[in-house]
Structure formats: C-alpha cells, structure tokens
Amino acid sequence: MEKKPHFARREFLPREASSISLALLLVAVLLLNALLYLYLNKFYSSSGRAETDPGLCPLGHFRLGTVKNCSPWLSCEAINREVRKLKCVGEGAVKKVFLSEWKENKVVLSQLTNSELKEDFLHGLKMLKALQSKHVVRLLGYCEQQFTILTEYHPLGSLRGLNETLHIPKYKGMNTWRHRLMLAIDYVSVICYLHSSPLGTLVMCDSNDLDKVLSQYLLTSDFHILVNDLDALPLVNRSAGRLVKCGHRELQGEFVAPEQRWPYGEDVPFEDDLMPPYDEKTDIWKIPDVSNFLLGHVEGSDIVRLHLFDIHAACKKEDPAERPSAQEVLDTYRKVLTLLIQEAAMPATREML
C-alpha cells in the first residue's frame, strides 16, 4: 500500500520537469529578444552618435579629444599659427595629406597640389561643410585662400587596410562575421545618407574600382566607417532632368555599372559629348563588391553572403531602374543581422536548459 504514492510521484515528476523546462525556455527566449532589441537599437542609432553633428556641436563648430567645449572651425590665421605639420602621409591627384598636430591632438591637414584641380578641391570642401554628420569625417577648419582643409585624424586609416588591421592582435577579436557585417551596414548607411542628403541626391563618383572606393572611406578606432573624400560628388535632380557623368574619360571594367560604360561598341571612338548621363543607381551596382570585401573570409561570412544573395542579385540588375534603393539595401542588411544574431543565440538558449 505504501508503494502507490511512490509510483504516483514517479509519474508526476517528468511532467513537472517538462513544465519547468518550458517555462525556462520561454523566459530565456524573451530575455534574449529583449537583449537583442536593446543591442540592435543601440547599433542602429550608431552607438549614440548624433545624426546631424558627430561632435554634438552646432554647425560650424567641433569638439576633439577630451575637450568638453565646442570650438569654432579654425580659420586661416588659426591654422597657420596653431597647426604643426608632422609628416606627409599621402598624396593624390588633387591634394597632399599631412599628419599634423593641434593642441596636442593629431589632426590631418590637406593641401591642394594641382592648381588645375582647385574647383574639385573647393567642391570637396563645400560638401564637407554641408554634410557634417555621423557618416562624414569631422571638419576642424579650412582656409579657402590657401586651399587647406583640417580634419580629424583616424589612426587606422582607410578601408584599404581593413584586413591588415584585423590581423593586429589588438583587433583580432573584431574579425568576426558580425563585426564585418556591421561595417557593411555602415558602408551602405553612408551611401543611403548621400542619396538622401540635405543637398539632394549625391553620387559617389570617385569609385571606378574597388581600391579607389576603399580609399575614400576611413575606419575609426571604434570600428565604424566614415566617408572622407568628397571631391567628386555630383548632384542628381531627376525632376529637373539633371543626371551625372563621373568624369570625362571612358570607364571600363565590370566594377563600374553598365550605364557608365561606352554603349556604342569598340568601332565607335569614345566621345564625352555622346556619352549618356546616369543617376545614383551606379552606387547600388557597386555595393555587392564592396560588401564582399568587407565580409572577408571568416567563419560565418558565407552564411551572411547566402542571406544577402537576393538583394545583391537585385543590385546587379542591368536596368538601373530595377535596382533597389540604398534604403532598401540597408533595411535588408539590418534584417539579416537581426536574423543571424537570433539564430546564433538559440544554441546558447538551449544550453541554458
């Protein structure tokens, strides 16, 4: 008679354990979703960086280093008096770039090297002044008379050195599919910002090959991407029938969009006047190639590529009108990040049980 309660308890315990496990699973999933929401919300707001001003200062001002107060953009006089050149760190067709120092802060001083390209230089300065945001390198000062621009220094340099940077012991922990996908999201965010900028729809024209594209962007120490070179940024105004052409020379290769290539065959010599103009969808064509570089070849990156296959195929449509907008690409990237983080979290949830 005493054994019956014993058997009853043995039948009841597995059900009780099952109910407890189910409850724990539900709590774990809810907790993970809450943490994921907070994490992604923080990421999508760009880690607290302001949308319109990277230093939380009024337009025409900046804040640098540990200084709490905002300073006005440095004038010609201030630059000549307070900025000290340290060494030349780069030179392009338009300007020479010097690592410099201002009040114990490393800064970058850019100076025009070819007087024939002064219009390009001044256009870049105009864009830099007008587009100050979390997506654009911080302007610290300028001198139009001397064709000089002063910007914030980022020691990791351009995106061209990304893979080398990720092999440095200090940054090896960032060499994951997640951080690389976040960089790709940053890149598309910049394109999206340029296509819907305060000035209108701007096209990133200095992008005829992958290496050139990567040289236009900087990698920050907290692993974000900023656009740095705005010398070639023409405006599309579709309602006014205004399209663009990226330069006056023939563009070739699979990297540039089909509409950027000479359409009349090899038998017809290239003439700039006969070359049809195009719009911002040239930037969309290039997104898959840039993202492929940013994703690299780490564990999980092929899974990311698989999830991005459809949107990347759409970016490569021959007809520019059939390609998605930068915002549509950005939305897809963000959804993929959310999905993959959730999938990666589920095994950990099961282990908790």
Topology at the third CATH level for domain 157-343: Transferase(Phosphotransferase); domain 1 (1.10.510)
Beta carbons of 261 and 227 less than 8 angstroms apart: no
Mean pLDDT, the chain, integer: 88
Place 16 in a pLDDT band, splitting at 50, 70 and 90. Answer: low
Q: What's the pLDDT score for residue 312?
A: 98
Kindly list the domain boundaries of the chain, sorted by start residue.
71-152, 157-343
Phi, psi of 91 (to 5 degrees): -150, 130
Residues 239-258 have pLDDT tens digits of 888 999 999 999 999 999 99
Q: How far apart are the first and last CA of the chain?
A: 37
Q: What is the pLDDT of residue 42?
A: 54
CATH class of 71-152: alpha beta
pLDDT of residue 267: 93
Cross-strand partners of 74: 141
**Chain CA centroid to CA 103, Å:** 29
Q: Where are the alpha helices (DSSP H) in the chain?
A: 3-44, 76-82, 118-130, 162-165, 177-195, 210-215, 281-295, 301-307, 309-315, 326-352
At residue 92 the predicted structure's pLDDT band, cuts being 50, 70 and 90, is confident
How far apart CA 189 and CA 329 sit, in angstroms, is: 9
What pLDDT is attached to residue 12? 47
